[in-house]
Amino acid sequence: MSFDNILGQDRPKQILNKALRSGRVPNAYLFYGQESVGKKFTAIEVSKALNCKTMGPADSCDQCLSCLKIGKRIHPDLFILEPKKSSASAREAILKIDEIRELQKKLLYLPYEGNTKVAIINNAECMNLQAANSFLKTLEEPPTKTLIILIASNPHQLLPTVVSRCQRIQFYPLPSEAIKTIISHHLKSEPVESQPEEIELRSRRSMGQVAYALEENLLEVSEDREELIRLIGIISFKRMDQVFLWTKTKAKQTERILLILDELTRILRDVVLIKVAPETSLVTNKDLIKQLRTLALQKSTSALLTMFETVQNTKAAIKLNANSQLALENMLINFCEAA
């Protein structure tokens, strides 16, 4: 029943169902795949199944005390570890060795009131080297009656020795029907007339990721999109004034830079799609098709691909703490060269 709550992700569900039904659950799983496609949600549902008083361990009722406590994250045998930022200004969150050691201590004991302890480590790739090495010992000598679930969007950043000790399950972007169901559920309180177009737009923009679909500020997004399309259209060495003006304003919006660069990625992707295939069903920003077609006529495919690659490099550099203003300026100078 509770497994039915997981939308999309048929393959992971099938693998997990089979393991739970046969009682052959490994010591550790690695759930990997894009952010916000249901990995943590599924991990919680697995925890419920393993400890459900009425339907466990194959599935869960979502109603017994154990299921309710797990749903509220207050079950004493459920441990969820998530990386934190070391300070408000830090860009990357990390999982430190102290937190791993504390978890290891808790896992030494038998389950307190359930059948199986479940330790979920979200964004496991944020373990620093020390933490990962320490955690490796737990994977090598797994505590009894314990399931460890590592969750990672960038599994290649994990130690290979950690990965090799987990059963890997890949999660995929959610199909648009699943995304639409989730959005409709969350939009229930909104006025009905605004719903169909908004649901369609949110679903198309989400790329199968729930957080995008639900949290995006569509007003902000529409301003960004128009500004970016204009910028791509006019960029050249003759308009360096615009280059510096744009970077100066954007570099200050530290919280939003990566979102804006994602937006830029989507627009460039759309323009390339329009250039190479007249059929537009894959275009994300369908409502701006006119402006995108104009850009497609102005720019060469190779220029667009160079821009696309430059944006990806800029995102990577900013994530690694590069100076935002310099990184954005560099990006736009590359745009000018490509244009």
- Joined together, the tokens standing for residue 190 give 């909104």
Among 7, 46, 67, 124, binds Zn ion (CB under 5 A): 67
Confirm or reject binding of residue 107 to Zn ion (CB under 5 A): no
Bridge partner list, 148:
28, 119
Cβ proximity to Zn ion, 49 vs 228, nearer residue: 49
Nearest to 147 by CA among 264, 26, 10, 244: 26
- Between 64 and 94, whose beta carbon lies closer to Zn ion? 64
Could you tell me which stretch among 9-17, 50-58, 115-123, 147-155 binds Zn ion (CB under 5 A)? Answer: 50-58
Q: How far is the CB of 147 from Zn ion (least distance, A)?
A: 17
Which 3 state secondary structure label does DSSP give 122? coil
Q: Which of 15, 25, 58, 61 binds Zn ion (CB under 5 A)?
A: 61
Name the residue with tokens 């599935």: 59
| DSSP conformation letters of 46-112 | HHHHHH-SSSTTT---S-SHHHHHHHTT--TTEEEE--EESSTT-SSEEB-HHHHHHHHHHHTSPPS
Nearer to Zn ion, 57 or 83 (CB): 57
* Least distance to Zn ion, CB of residue 55, Å: 6
Question: Among residues 54 and 164, whose Cβ is nearest to Zn ion?
Answer: 54
Site membership for Zn ion, residue 64 (CB under 5 A): yes
SS3 sequence of 254-301: CCCHHHHHHHHHHHHHHHHHHHHCCCCCCCCCHHHHHHHHHHHHHCCH
Q: Does 60 bind Zn ion (CB under 5 A)?
A: yes
Which residue's CB is nearer to Zn ion, number 1 or number 303?
A: 1
Is residue 20 near Zn ion by the rule CB under 5 A? no
Phi-psi category of residue 283: left, alpha or beta, with phi > 0 → left and psi -120 to 50 → alpha = beta
Q: Which stretch binds Zn ion (CB under 5 A): 16-24, 63-71, 206-214, 232-240?
A: 63-71
Of residues 67 and 118, the one with the C-beta less far from Zn ion: 67
The answer to the question of residue 116 lying near Zn ion (CB under 5 A) is no
The yes or no reply on residue 52 touching Zn ion (CB under 5 A) is: yes
Contact status: 306 vs Zn ion (CB under 5 A): no
Give the integer Cα–Cα distance in Å for 195 and 276.
Answer: 32
Instruction: Kindly determine how many residues on this chain lie close enough to bind Zn ion according to the rule CB under 5 A.
Output: 5
Dist CA 249 CA 114 (whole Å): 54
State the minimum distance, in angstroms, from the CB of residue 163 to Zn ion: 32
CB atoms within 10 A of CB 231: 19
**Residue where the block lists tokens 């050249």:** 236
> Which 140-179 residues touch Zn ion, going by CB under 5 A?
none
The nearer residue to Zn ion, 67 or 207, going by C-beta atoms, is 67
Residue 140 CB, shortest distance to Zn ion, in Å, is: 32
Question: In angstroms, what is the minimal distance from the CB of 63 to Zn ion?
Answer: 6
Please give the residue ranges that form the binding site for Zn ion (CB under 5 A): 52, 60-61, 64, 67
